[in-house]
């Protein structure tokens, strides 16, 4: 039986990095990156296929393709990697978003080599994060994914980029510090009955960490991961950061990096500290629900496309945390689907915004009109992204949000149902801010003379847009395969929670 070596998911980005360093011409740097990420995308699909084949063959291990090497003996840090259905789903998401992101930044002009270098370094971190099963390694990859962001925004960004980059990095670093304490807390409590301390998630999941320790460290891990998922009130890095970041970075950041938080909350905070999670969910749900409705209401009043989308992300990623904290299987499944779905949708949004900005040189909604006539392809894609974002059935947003709401509503506590109703009302607000942009920017007549001469999408932009659209539609029409894969992998977590 052929098995899948997960290290290849790190090897390809690293080889791409080497390739970028070696090429002389900047034009070649982007070709190297495109080839590398195409190969990566292919490998991701091979992983998806092999994972499903293995599961269908009756393999019911918690994680597949497990590998384990000692990395630092005396602290029992091990390089252990393996994937479950949730990780596979997010790896697929990452593969697609990165692929689309590379093509979306095809026309990058300044310091092309360096840009792609940092971008791929970040991507390496993300892939590493999703495959690692050791908290220490996981944290290391997490930092690897977060830090290049500073340079990417600070150097290639627009607007007040230094300020935004600094704010984003400092807030995420602050969260990392808290997170590190939380992870160490888990580590030092990982062997309550004596024996060797461990960072390994699989091993920790077999022991019950003392409830006092759980109560102390759960908030740290939750907030630590929550900040990168724009947990209210620590979300303010997101609008500024996304607005200043270059296109591909916005796509990756909103599309994938914000999901690191959700994944971490699920696999570390909830899985390893289940008792505290059940106890404290209500408290954190209040903040999360505020974030959901607050992000949506803020988006209504924004004028800058990127700000609209950033606040919309605060709202939609809030729904991920909302679903996670419900701690029911249906809601967890919805939350993971929402990670994937929102990743695709928001990446598409930021990609399209970048492409439109590259033509009109403005992101102000009021300064554009009638673009549907001028650039039909981009406009139609924008409309589809908008519809997906407001939860139109047939697109991925709906199948992701539905289980969250159903799962949340089926909670026996009336309080949970009340906040569910509040959270659901955000989808109406979403319709308002999305349709407002579509109406103002894409429809009516072209008011700005100069905009009449703009061109529609080029081939590389079409690749980028279509690759994302394809999956938004595929998940929306046939959610079964993805949700079954996720659902099976949620079993151990649900078992821990009960």
Partner 1 sequence: MGNYQYTIWILILPFAAFLFTGILSGKLKPSFTAAISIGAIGIATVLSYFAAIQYFFLNASESYTAIEAASFTWYRLSDTLVIDMGILIDSISVMMLVVITTVSLMVHIYSTGYMKGDDGYARYFTFLSLFSFAMLGLVLATNLIQIYVFWELVGLSSYLLIGHYYQKPSAVAAAKKAFIVTRFADLGFLIGILMLSYYTGTFSFSEITDPNGPLITQTIGGVFLGLSTLTWAMILVFMGGAGKSAMFPFHIWLPDAMEGPTPISALIHAATMVVAGVFLVARMFTVYSLAAPEALEVIAFIGAFTSLFAALIAITQTDIKKILAYSTISQIGYMMMALGVSGYSGEAGLGFTASMFHLFTHAFFKALLFLGAGSIIHAVHSNEMKDMGNLRKHLPATHITFLIATLAISGIPPFSGFFSKDEILAAAYASNKLYFAVEYLVAGLTAFYMFRLYFKVFWGKERTYENIQESPASMTIPLWILAFGTLFAGFLPFSHLVTTDGIPFDTHFHWNIALPSVGIALAGIFIAAALYKKESARSQKIAASLGAFYSVTKEKFYVDEIYIFITKKIIFNLISMPVVWFDRHIVDGFMNLTGNTTVALSFRIRKFQSGNIHQYALVFLTGILIATLFYLFYYPN
Distance CA 146, CA 401 (A): 27
Q: How far is the CB of 410 from partner 1 (least distance, A)?
A: 5
Residue 236 is a binding residue for partner 1 (CB under 8 A): yes
Residue 462 is a binding residue for partner 1 (CB under 8 A): no
Residue 421 is a binding residue for partner 1 (CB under 8 A): yes
361 Rama class: left (phi>0) / alpha (psi -120 to 50) / beta: left
Q: Which helix (H) or strand (E) holds 376?
A: helix 376-389
Judged by CB under 8 A, the residue of 76, 214, 333, 389 near partner 1 is 333
Residue 435 is a binding residue for partner 1 (CB under 8 A): yes
Q: Which helix (H) or strand (E) holds 286?
A: helix 274-301
Residue 18 is a binding residue for partner 1 (CB under 8 A): no
Residue 358 is a binding residue for partner 1 (CB under 8 A): no
Give the nearer residue to partner 1 in terms of CB position, either 23 or 434.
434
- Residue of 430, 420, 433 lying closest to 305 (CA atoms): 433
Q: How far is the CB of 201 from partner 1 (least distance, A)?
A: 25
Residue 170 is a binding residue for partner 1 (CB under 8 A): yes
Q: Which helix (H) or strand (E) holds 293?
A: helix 274-301
Q: Which helix (H) or strand (E) holds 71?
A: strand 64-72
Residue 215 is a binding residue for partner 1 (CB under 8 A): no
Distance CA 483, CA 488 (A): 9
HSE toward the beta carbon, residue 399, CA cutoff 13 A? 21
Distance CA 103, CA 351 (A): 10
Residue 491 is a binding residue for partner 1 (CB under 8 A): no
**Which of the residues 92 through 111 are near partner 1 (CB under 8 A)?**
none
Considering CB under 8 A, how many residues would be counted as binding partner 1? Answer: 60
Residue 42 is a binding residue for partner 1 (CB under 8 A): no
Which pair of tokens denotes residue 262? 């959700």
**Which of the residues 48 through 77 are near partner 1 (CB under 8 A)?**
none
Residue 405 is a binding residue for partner 1 (CB under 8 A): yes
Judged by CB under 8 A, the residue of 18, 21, 177, 439 near partner 1 is 439
Q: Which helix (H) or strand (E) holds 422?
A: helix 414-424
Stretch that binds partner 1, among 42-50, 59-67, 323-331, 353-361 (CB under 8 A): 323-331
Residue with tokens 């920017």: 441
Cβ contacts of residue 466 below 8 Å, gap of 6+?
A: none
Residue 205 is a binding residue for partner 1 (CB under 8 A): no
Which pair of tokens denotes residue 78? 């091990």
Distance CA 7, CA 348 (A): 28
DSSP state of 439: I
Q: How far is the CB of 387 from partner 1 (least distance, A)?
A: 7
Residue 402 is a binding residue for partner 1 (CB under 8 A): yes
Judged by CB under 8 A, the residue of 161, 167, 242, 306 near partner 1 is 167
Give the interface with partner 1 as residue ranges (CB under 8 A): 166-167, 170-171, 232-237, 294, 297-298, 300-302, 328-330, 333, 370, 372-373, 387, 390-394, 398-399, 402-403, 405-407, 409-410, 417, 420-421, 424-425, 427-428, 431-432, 435-436, 438-439, 442-445, 479-480, 483-484, 487
């Amino acid at each position: 039986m052929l098995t899948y070596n997960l290290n290849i998911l790190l090897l390809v980005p690293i080889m791409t990095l080497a390739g970028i360093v070696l090429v002389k011409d900047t034009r070649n740097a982007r070709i190297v990156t495109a080839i590398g990420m195409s190969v990566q995308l292919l490998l991701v699909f091979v992983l998806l296929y092999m994972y499903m084949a293995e599961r269908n063959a009756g393999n019911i291990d918690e994680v597949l393709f497990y590998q384990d090497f000692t990395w630092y003996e005396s602290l029992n840090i091990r390089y252990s990697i393996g994937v479950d259905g949730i990780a596979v789903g997010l790896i697929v998401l990452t593969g697609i978003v990165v692929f689309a992101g590379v093509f979306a930044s095809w026309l990058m002009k300044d310091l092309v080599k360096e840009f792609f270098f940092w971008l791929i370094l970040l991507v390496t971190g993300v892939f590493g994060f999703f495959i690692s099963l050791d908290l220490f390694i996981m944290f290391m990859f997490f930092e690897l994914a977060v830090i290049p962001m500073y340079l990417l925004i600070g150097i290639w960004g627009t607007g007040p980029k230094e300020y935004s980059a600094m704010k984003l990095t400092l807030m995420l670093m602050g969260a990392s510090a808290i997170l590190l304490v939380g992870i160490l807390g888990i580590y030092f409590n990982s062997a309550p009955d004596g024996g060797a301390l461990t960072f390994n998630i699989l091993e920790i999941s077999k022991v019950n960490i003392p409830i006092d320790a759980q109560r102390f460290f759960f908030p740290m891990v939750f907030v630590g991961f929550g900040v990168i998922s724009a947990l209210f009130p620590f979300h303010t890095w997101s609008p500024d950061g996304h607005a200043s970041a270059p296109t591909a970075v916005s796509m990756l950041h909103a599309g994938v990096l914000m999901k690191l938080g959700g994944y971490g909350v699920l696999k570390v905070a909830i899985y390893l500290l289940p008792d505290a999670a059940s106890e404290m969910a209500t408290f954190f749900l209040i903040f999360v629900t505020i974030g959901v409705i607050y992000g949506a209401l803020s988006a209504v009043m924004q004028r800058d496309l990127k700000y609209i989308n950033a606040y919309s992300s605060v709202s939609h990623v809030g729904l991920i945390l909302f679903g996670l904290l419900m701690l029911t299987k249906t809601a967890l499944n919805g939350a993971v689907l929402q990670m994937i779905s929102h990743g695709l949708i928001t990446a598409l949004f930021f990609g399209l915004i970048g492409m439109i900005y590259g033509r009109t040189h403005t992101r102000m909604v009021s300064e554009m009109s009638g673009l549907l006539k001028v650039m039909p392809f981009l406009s139609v894609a924008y409309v589809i992204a908008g519809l997906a974002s407001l939860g139109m059935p047939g697109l991925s947003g709906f199948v992701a949000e539905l289980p969250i709401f159903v799962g949340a509503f089926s909670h026996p506590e009336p309080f949970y149902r009340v906040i569910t109703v509040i959270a659901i009302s955000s989808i109406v607000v979403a319709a308002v801010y999305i349709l407002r942009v579509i109406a103002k920017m894409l429809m009516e007549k072209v008011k700005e003379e100069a905009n009449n001469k703009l061109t529609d999408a080029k081939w590389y932009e079409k690749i980028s847009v279509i690759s994302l659209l394809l999956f938004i539609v595929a998940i929306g029409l046939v959610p079964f395969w993805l949700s079954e894969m996720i659902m099976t992998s949620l079993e151990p977590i649900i078992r821990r929670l009960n």
